[in-house]
Amino acid sequence: MEFARPIAFALLIVVAALLAIMVWAAKRKRTGQAAFASRGLWATIQPTLAPRRDRLRIAFVVSAAALLVMGIAGPRYGTVYEEVRRRGVDLVVALDVSKSMLAEDFAPNRLEKAKHQLESLLDRLQGDRIAIVPFAGEAHLLCPLTLDYSAAKLYLSILDSAAIPTPGTNIAAAITESIAAFEDVDRKHKVMLLLTDGESLQGDALEAARKAAEEGIAIHTIGIGSPDGVPIPITNSAGETEYKKDAAGNVILSKLDEETLESISRITGGTYYRSSYGEMELDWLIDELASMEKRDLKSQVMFRKKERFWPFAVAAFVLLTLEALLPDRPLRKSRKKNVAPESSVADAQKPEVDEQTTRREAS
Cα–Cα separations (whole angstroms), residue 322 to 17, 64, 65, 255: 22, 11, 14, 72
Distance, in Å, from the CA atom of 23 to the CA atom of 41, rounded to the nearest integer, reads 22
Q: How many helices (H) and strands (E) does the chain have?
A: 11, 15
Q: What is the DSSP string of 19-54?
A: HHHHHHHHHHHHHHHHTTS-HHHHHHH-GGG-HHHH
Q: What is the DSSP string of 194-209?
A: EEE-----SS-HHHHH
Q: How does residue 247 score in pLDDT terms, banded at 50, 70 and 90?
A: confident
pLDDT of residue 298: 63
- Identify which of 145, 14, 140 has the alpha carbon closest to the alpha carbon of residue 72: 14
Distance, in Å, from the CA atom of 349 to the CA atom of 356, rounded to the nearest integer, reads 11
pLDDT of residue 356: 52
22 in Cβ contact with 61 (< 8 Å): yes
319 in Cβ contact with 63 (< 8 Å): yes
Other C-beta atoms lying within 10 Å of the C-beta of residue 143: 21
Q: Residue 290 carries which side chain, given as an amino acid letter?
A: A
Distance, in Å, from the CA atom of 257 to the CA atom of 248, rounded to the nearest integer, reads 23
Domains of the chain, first to last: 2-77+309-356 (no CATH), 80-303 (3.40.50.410)
Tens of pLDDT, residue by residue over 327-352, are 765 545 444 444 444 444 445 455 55
Average pLDDT value for residue range 313-333 = 78
Average pLDDT value for residue range 240-257 = 90
pLDDT of residue 348: 47
pTM value surpassing 0.95: no
Average pLDDT value for residue range 281-289 = 90
Tens of pLDDT, residue by residue over 168-224, are 999 999 999 999 999 766 666 789 999 999 987 788 999 999 999 999 999 999 999
pLDDT of residue 121: 95
